[in-house]
C-alpha cells in the first residue's frame, strides 16, 4: 500500500508535470499576441471602411452633379459642395472638432453692447458663430445702469460659456442722438470693465487669448483658428474698414513679421488697424496691468492706445496666411426705419412688439 503511493508520487515528480507552468505561459502569450493582431486587424478594417465610405460619398455626389447637369428639366445644375466633398475625410475630421473643447487656449471675446432695435439680431449672429469655436468664453458688457432682461435671458439660452457685466458709459461721454458717431469713443467703459474682470478673475495658469469683438461686426469661425496661435500680440486683415475693402498689415509670409500697413485713413496712427484686427495673449494682459482704453484721445486711436502699452510694431505676429485672408468684416448694421410703429400704435393702441421680444 505504502509502496504504491510512493511510486505514484515518484511518477508525478519524474513525469512531464513540471512542464505545466510553461504550457500555461505559452498559451497565455499566444492568446495575447493573437488578441493584439486582432485589434490591429480590426482598426485597419475600420480605416479601410471609412475610406470606402468617403469614396462612395464622393462618387455619389459626383453622380448627383452629373445627373443634374444631364437632366433636361433642370435649367441650372444642382450645385453640390464638391470642393468640400473632394476633401470629405478632412472635412469630416474638421466638422467633428467644431465647438468641442480641446487643450488649446481659451478665447476670451469682449463684446460691449447697448439697447437698440437691432441688439438681439446682432447678438444672435455673433453667438451662433461663437458656438462653433472651441474653448470660447464670451464676456458681454452692457452699456447700462442695470443688466437688461433681454441680454440676461439671451445669454442664459445661448449655450455659450459667458460672463455678463454691466458698465454704463459716463453721461458726458455718451453719444447724443444727433452726434456723428466719430464724435465720442464707444465701448471704452465696457472694454475696460472686461479687462478689470479678467485681471481680477484669471491668473497666469490660464492659457488664453483676449479679443475685442464688437457686436456689429461679422466673424468667420476661421478667425478663431488663427487667434489660438497668438503668442504675444497677433494681427490680421479686417474687411470693410478705414474706407477700404480691406485694411491690413503687410506681413512676411514665411516669418509672419509685420513690415508695414496699407491704411490710408490716419496712417500716422502708431498701429493703423481696427479693433477687430488684433488679439492679445492673456499672459500679456496680466503682465501689462496698466493697459486700458482711454477717453481723451483722438478718434481712431483706441487700438493704438492699448497696443502701444503691450507691444511694439516689430513684435507683431502676422496671421491669416501672412495677412492675406479676411476672416472678419467691420460691418455696421443700419438703423431700421420704424416710422410705421407710430401709425400702428395709433391704430391698434399698442406697439407691434407688445408681448414679443424682438
Ligand atoms: N457701444 C456701446 N455703447 C454705445 C455705442 C456703442 O456699448 O453707446 C458698443 C457697440 O455695441 C460695439 C462697440 O461699442 O460693440 C463699438 O461701437 P460701434 O460698433 O458703434 O463702433 P464703430 O464700429 O463705429 O467703431
Ligand atoms: Mn462697429
What pLDDT, on a 0 to 100 scale, did the predictor assign at position 16? 65
Closest CA to 275 of 334, 188, 201, 198: 188
What pLDDT, on a 0 to 100 scale, did the predictor assign at position 281? 98
- Interatomic CA distance for residues 169 and 155, integer angstroms: 21
What pLDDT, on a 0 to 100 scale, did the predictor assign at position 159? 96
- The strand pair at 208-212 and 106-113 is best described as parallel
- Interatomic CA distance for residues 281 and 277, integer angstroms: 14
Closest approach atom of ligand 1 to CA 111: 15
What pLDDT, on a 0 to 100 scale, did the predictor assign at position 4? 47
Neighbour-count burial for 151-169, b at 16+ CB within 10 Å, e otherwise: beebbeebebebbbbbbbb
Question: Cell 453721461 sits at which residue?
Answer: 171
Rounded (10°) angle between helices 119-130 and 149-156: 20
What pLDDT, on a 0 to 100 scale, did the predictor assign at position 334? 96
- The strand pair at 317-318 and 233-235 is best described as parallel
Q: Is 171 in the pocket of ligand 1 (CB under 6 A)?
A: no
Closest approach atom of ligand 1 to CA 274: 25
- Interatomic CA distance for residues 348 and 292, integer angstroms: 49
What pLDDT, on a 0 to 100 scale, did the predictor assign at position 1? 43
The overall longest dimension of the chain from CA atoms, in Å, is 122
Q: Is 181 in the pocket of ligand 1 (CB under 6 A)?
A: yes
Query: For residue 188, how far is its CA from the centre of ligand 1 (angstroms)?
Result: 9
Q: Is 217 in the pocket of ligand 1 (CB under 6 A)?
A: no
Residues designated catalytic? 303
What pLDDT, on a 0 to 100 scale, did the predictor assign at position 66? 74
Q: Which residues of the chain are modeled with pLDDT < 50? A: 1-2, 4, 7-13
What pLDDT, on a 0 to 100 scale, did the predictor assign at position 182? 65
Amino acid at each position: 500500500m505504502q509502496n504504491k503511493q510512493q511510486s505514484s508520487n515518484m511518477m508525478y515528480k519524474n513525469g512531464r508535470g513540471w512542464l505545466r507552468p510553461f504550457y500555461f505561459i505559452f498559451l497565455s502569450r499566444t492568446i495575447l499576441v493573437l488578441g493584439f493582431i486582432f485589434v490591429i486587424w480590426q482598426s485597419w478594417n475600420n480605416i479601410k471602411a471609412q475610406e470606402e465610405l468617403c469614396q462612395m460619398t464622393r462618387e455619389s455626389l459626383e453622380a448627383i452633379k452629373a445627373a443634374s447637369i444631364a437632366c433636361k428639366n433642370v435649367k441650372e445644375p444642382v450645385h453640390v459642395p464638391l470642393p468640400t466633398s473632394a476633401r470629405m475625410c478632412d472635412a469630416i475630421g474638421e466638422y467633428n472638432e467644431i465647438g468641442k473643447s480641446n487643450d488649446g487656449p481659451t478665447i476670451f471675446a469682449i463684446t460691449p453692447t447697448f439697447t437698440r432695435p437691432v441688439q438681439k439680431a446682432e447678438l444672435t449672429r455673433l453667438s451662433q458663430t461663437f458656438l462653433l469655436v472651441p474653448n470660447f468664453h464670451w464676456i458681454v458688457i452692457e452699456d447700462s445702469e442695470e443688466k437688461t432682461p433681454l441680454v440676461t435671458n439671451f445669454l442664459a439660452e445661448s449655450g455659450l460659456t459667458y460672463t455678463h457685466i454691466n458698465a454704463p458709459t459716463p453721461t458726458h461721454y455718451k453719444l447724443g442722438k444727433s452726434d456723428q458717431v466719430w464724435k465720442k469713443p464707444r465701448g471704452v467703459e465696457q472694454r475696460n470693465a472686461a479687462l478689470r474682470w479678467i485681471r481680477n478673475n484669471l491668473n497666469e495658469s490660464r492659457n488664453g487669448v483676449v479679443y475685442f469683438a464688437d457686436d456689429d461686426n461679422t466673424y468667420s469661425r476661421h478667425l478663431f483658428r488663427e487667434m489660438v496661435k497668438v503668442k504675444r500680440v497677433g494681427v490680421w486683415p479686417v474687411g470693410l474698414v478705414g474706407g477700404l475693402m480691406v485694411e491690413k498689415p503687410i506681413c512676411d509670409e514665411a516669418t509672419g513679421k509685420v513690415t508695414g500697413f496699407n491704411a490710408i485713413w490716419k496712417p500716422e496712427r502708431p498701429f493703423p488697424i481696427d479693433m477687430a484686427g488684433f488679439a492679445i495673449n492673456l499672459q500679456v494682459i496680466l503682465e501689462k496691468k496698466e493697459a486700458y482704453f482711454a477717453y481723451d484721445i483722438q478718434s481712431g486711436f483706441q487700438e493704438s492706445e492699448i497696443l502701444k502699452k503691450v507691444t511694439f510694431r516689430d513684435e507683431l505676429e502676422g496671421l491669416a496666411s501672412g495677412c492675406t485672408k479676411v476672416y472678419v468684416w467691420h460691418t455696421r448694421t443700419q438703423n431700421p426705419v420704424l416710422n410705421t410703429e407710430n401709425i400702428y400704435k395709433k391704430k391698434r393702441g399698442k406697439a407691434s412688439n407688445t408681448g414679443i421680444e424682438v
